[in-house]
Structure 1
Amino acid sequence: MENNQSKGLMRLVLLPLPFQGHINPMLQLASILYSKGFSITIIHTAFNSPNPLNYPHFTFCSIQDGITHSSSLDILNLIILLNVRCVTPFRDMLAKVISDARDHKEHVACLITDALFYFTQGVSNTLELRRIVLRTSGVSSFVPFLLFPLLIEKGYVPLQDSQLEEVVTEIPPLKVKDLPLIATNEPEKFYKTLSNLVEGTKASCGVIWNTFEDLESSPLSYLCQEFQIPFFPIGPFHKYPSSSSSSSSSSSSSSSSSSLLAEDQSCISWLDKHKPNSVIYVSFGSLAAITAIQFLEIARGLASSMQPFLWVVREGMVVDENKECLEYPPWPSGFIENVEGRGCIVKWAPQQQVLAHKAVGAFWTHCGWNSTMESICEGVPMICMPFFTDQKVNARYVSCVWKIGVQFEGEVKRGEVVNMIRVLIDGNNNKKGLEIRERALDLKEKARVSWNHGGSSYTHLDALVNYILSFQPKRTVL
């Protein structure tokens, strides 16, 4: 399509879920679609609002969500509350955007929402606007959501300690403990939320995935048959040059433009001082919390490995036995002094830049989908320590399907930490580590091919653009 053909004539409205791992890919997608000629409006909640100054070419519209004490809510109840509180303000704002666009001789072609904002299907039906959903996690982790009623019927859910190591025969190689669940005292709420997610996705006009065919071809084929709506696997979003073109930042730091936390750039100059593939990068994302005992084992394992490490220790990351956030991390005695020069500790890091740095040889991760994709795209082997939902599925795929990393199967112990680091960092001197690194580099190349001209993601993006253009009103706009 001609880039200027639809700009100013066709507008897209996007609604991200207000969590770091959901805002990033939605804004990256917005930048990609802007580069294809569409005007972009971002409707967002006041809670965890993105910074409009980083995207001067987008129109931002804030809605009041009534969320004032989010720290007192778990993730499940926060998602449910957002789906209740946002209905009226979102409907009113969307109606206004449509009306304003019409006044300016624009056409709002469709609504693109996070799949977890399932309430938006009803709103789009009311306003007679087509809705496409963005699924910010992988395809592999969506399959168990679709099969959840069967998993309950078969007795896999709720989890039983005696079954945790059993393989789920319907979706191998997942074990029962890998099912994408969340710890909650209200399981029925969780089941209902999953049902709303699946049904809201099925009712949409299509699904955009931040993945690529070579990575998840089997689950993609399965879901395509089950859903009977168009699928557009156009990832990895962050690797498209256009995904940061609307921001003043460089392409290597496209994620920073939508980061809710201040990034410490000093770690890049620290990495510059280290040998290639020598540094372990440790980050558990923006939501996961670890216990003080886990924190101590991680710290002692890193110290004992004798390898340089970059560790993101986020505020509120460590909790006590009552799950209350500790004001200060419980550093082992003498830890800071013992690792001086060898360890770099920051509150938040520019992750894409870090993973692309030649000094980084392994990524110890919670296996959130964005982190997993970013690591794959740079060919960095992973140490997997998942916490909840799709992270557990991603970790199993990393370690057992793609075989580009290793995974903690039980409690974190310092000795195992040392062993895993040695396998990945000293990969050239052991067969397992060498094979993992070779597979990681091979998958990196497949990812690169996918987003280049003629690749699968490039082709699916063209299909997505043409699909949206087909929503154009029949009358000709002069």
Structure 2
Amino acid sequence: MGSSECHVAVLAFPFGTHAAPLLSLVEKLSAAFPSARFSFFSNHDSNSTLFGDRNPGAGKIKAYDVGDGTVAGEASVIHEEFIMAMPGNYQTAIAEAEAEMGTKFGCFLTDAFLWFGGDLAAERGGVPWIALWTAGACSVSAHLYTDFVRSLVGANPNGNGLEQKLKVIPGMSEVSIGEMPGEILAKDLQASFPGMIYNMALKLPGANAVVLNSFQKLDPTITDDLRSKLQKVFNIGPMILRPPGTPKPPISDDHNCIPWLDSLPPASPAVYLSFGSALTPPPDEIVGLAEALEAKRAPFLWSLKPHGVKHLPKGFLERTKEFGKIVSWAPQVQVLSHPRVGAFVTHCGWNSILEAISFGVCMICRPFYGDQQINTRFVESVWEIGVKVEGGIFTKDETMKVLSVVLDSDRGKLLKENVVKLKGEALEAVKPNGSSTKDFQELVRLLNDSF
């Protein structure tokens, strides 16, 4: 093997929305560090979706397929077979790439889920391991406190402790044990997915840096605590926001969402509903949502897959066609940045939260799994930029209540003021002298110094 000059191994977790932010980071790094090459390792479905006919980084980013036991066409579904095959499946692909190039990798940039990144770096003489956490500071902090949280649950074996607030964890005083990510409270921490996350929590302190798609002023107390536990923490987000003067990417809007929003009267704020690429509410909740939207008669744009549309009440589409639009996919960034949008009904995935903050839109939250519960608590009780549906389930009455809170009440005005303030701080963070820009420059410096 020859030198490792300026060649970075990028290891993606190929499910859900994990790989796309990592590729976005790599493209940004490639532009800032033009002498570097990046080899991007993910499974076939993920690479096909991300790369297609694109040539990211002007050819300096090359995709390599990682073998797995997944089924073609199910890239959004997490398969135990893939997790059980780690890290061997990545090691095989990495060895093939190194043999092809005749050089060893000089740095490993991985999704934080891939806890073995440090081991792979150590095998190559202790080159740097940089981990990207694709969610928020609150959830990665929660995972680092897994053993402590589980000890609190163990002290209340009857389950009475789940309502206990985690006041002793910095920045978590509003969060209850029951709102922690589900993997923390899993019965078996050795099961495939909880085991992967637990291993990550144990290994992350060994990473040379942990990168967050967030900004310093969003969670300063938690970020300071993370910096006491991890070697380096870089907040480089919101990655969706581009510095002034940066050309906007082309919009794909096959369903004419933006012209439809343009046509709405300014006095009637629209409700945008979307639950990410992998989630559809249960049939009874789709009915509850639909009944509330019809009764409220506020303009609405609803991104709902065909298998969800079939559960809408009979005649709903016809009765609401004057003020509602349902599409199978919407350009979410452009929708949330549209001045007509006044509320975002969401599952509270991290990307959706950051996008809502970046464009100053209040949220109505219905979390399902993973980090969505803790994200929701921060939206409602820490940042105060949205509300959770009472009981965590969409019914007609509860949905009507939260729509009225956000769109028509004094509390809704306060929520709007708070989210607009956070929007301003996010915009400041990505300016040339902003905190996220400086953290990104530090990340580039770390990468540059490793070669």
**Are 1:208 and 1:231, in contact at CA under 8 Å, matched by a contact in 2?**
yes
2:346 maps to what in 1?
365
**Are 1:28 and 1:238, in contact at CA under 8 Å, matched by a contact in 2?**
no
Q: Secondary structure at the match of 2:40?
A: strand
Listed as ranges, the matches of 1:301-450 within 5 Å are 301-314=292-305, 329-410=310-391, 411-426=393-408, 430-450=409-429
When structure 1 is superposed on structure 2, of 368-377 and 189-198 the one drifting more is 189-198
2:431 maps to what in 1?
452
1:176 maps to what in 2?
177
Query: How far has the Cα of 1:191 moved from its partner?
Result: 4.2
AA partner of residue 21 (structure 1): T
Partners in 2 of 1:408 and 1:148 — Cα distance? 27
Partners in 2 of 1:98 and 1:117 — Cα distance? 23
AA partner of residue 449 (structure 1): E
1:288 aligns with 2:279: yes
CA change 1:243–1:408 in 2 (3 A) is: farther
Select 1:212's aligned residue among 208, 211, 215: 215
Partners in 1 of 2:403 and 2:33 — Cα distance? 46
1:273 maps to what in 2?
263
CA change 1:241–1:455 in 2 (3 A) is: closer
**Are 1:115 and 1:197, in contact at CA under 8 Å, matched by a contact in 2?**
yes
Query: How far has the Cα of 1:13 moved from its partner?
Result: 3.0
Query: How far has the Cα of 1:243 moved from its partner?
Result: 13
Q: Secondary structure at the match of 1:286?
A: coil
**Are 2:242 and 2:430, in contact at CA under 8 Å, matched by a contact in 1?**
yes
**Are 1:17 and 1:114, in contact at CA under 8 Å, matched by a contact in 2?**
yes
Q: Secondary structure at the match of 1:280?
A: strand
Taking structure 1 as the reference length, the TM-score comes to 0.83
Query: How far has the Cα of 1:346 moved from its partner?
Result: 1.2
AA partner of residue 259 (structure 2): S
AA partner of residue 224 (structure 1): R
1:325 maps to what in 2?
none
1:466 aligns with 2:445: yes
1:110 aligns with 2:107: yes
2:86 maps to what in 1?
83
Taking structure 2 as the reference length, the TM-score comes to 0.87
**Are 1:279 and 1:362, in contact at CA under 8 Å, matched by a contact in 2?**
yes
AA partner of residue 19 (structure 2): I
- Post-superposition Cα deviations, 1:40-63, rounded to whole Å, max 9, x if no partner, equal 332222132222433442432222
Query: How far has the Cα of 1:17 moved from its partner?
Result: 1.5
AA partner of residue 24 (structure 2): Q
CA change 1:269–1:184 in 2 (3 A) is: farther
Q: Secondary structure at the match of 2:427?
A: helix
**Are 1:31 and 1:242, in contact at CA under 8 Å, matched by a contact in 2?**
no
Q: Secondary structure at the match of 1:208?
A: strand
Query: How far has the Cα of 1:163 moved from its partner?
Result: 4.5
AA partner of residue 335 (structure 1): F
AA partner of residue 374 (structure 1): E
Query: How far has the Cα of 1:94 moved from its partner?
Result: 4.5
RMSD: 2.9
Listed as ranges, the matches of 1:138-287 within 5 Å are 138-155=136-153, 162-170=160-168, 171-181=172-182, 188-189=190-191, 190-227=193-230, 229-241=231-243, 250-251=248-249, 253=251, 264-276=254-266, 278-287=269-278
Partners in 2 of 1:359 and 1:55 — Cα distance? 35
Query: How far has the Cα of 1:208 moved from its partner?
Result: 0.8
Query: How far has the Cα of 1:143 moved from its partner?
Result: 1.5
Select 1:13's aligned residue among 9, 29, 42: 9
1:54 maps to what in 2?
54
CA change 1:378–1:384 in 2 (3 A) is: same
Partners in 2 of 1:154 and 1:303 — Cα distance? 45
CA change 1:348–1:161 in 2 (3 A) is: farther
AA partner of residue 377 (structure 2): R
Partners in 2 of 1:204 and 1:412 — Cα distance? 41
CA change 1:186–1:292 in 2 (3 A) is: farther
Is there any run of 5+ residues in structure 1 with no aligned partner, and where? 1-7, 103-107, 257-262, 319-327, 473-478
- Post-superposition Cα deviations, 1:391-420, rounded to whole Å, max 9, x if no partner, equal 111111011111011112413221121121
Partners in 2 of 1:212 and 1:77 — Cα distance? 33
When structure 1 is superposed on structure 2, of 18-27 and 396-405 the one drifting more is 18-27
1:66 maps to what in 2?
68
CA change 1:69–1:446 in 2 (3 A) is: same
Query: How far has the Cα of 1:142 moved from its partner?
Result: 1.2
**Are 1:365 and 1:384, in contact at CA under 8 Å, matched by a contact in 2?**
yes
Query: How far has the Cα of 1:329 moved from its partner?
Result: 2.8
Query: How far has the Cα of 1:181 moved from its partner?
Result: 0.6
Partners in 2 of 1:73 and 1:354 — Cα distance? 23
The structure whose RCO (Cα within 8 Å, separation 6+) is larger is: 1
Give the length in aligned residue pairs: 433
**Are 2:15 and 2:77, in contact at CA under 8 Å, matched by a contact in 1?**
no
**Are 2:68 and 2:82, in contact at CA under 8 Å, matched by a contact in 1?**
no
- Post-superposition Cα deviations, 1:6-50, rounded to whole Å, max 9, x if no partner, equal xx9734332222134212211221122122133333222213222
Partners in 1 of 2:177 and 2:295 — Cα distance? 33
AA partner of residue 455 (structure 1): G
CA change 1:280–1:157 in 2 (3 A) is: farther
AA partner of residue 176 (structure 1): I
Matched-pair identity in %: 27
CA change 1:334–1:209 in 2 (3 A) is: same
CA change 1:147–1:305 in 2 (3 A) is: same
AA partner of residue 431 (structure 1): D
1:476 maps to what in 2?
none
Partners in 1 of 2:434 and 2:8 — Cα distance? 25
Partners in 2 of 1:126 and 1:373 — Cα distance? 36
Partners in 2 of 1:272 and 1:149 — Cα distance? 51
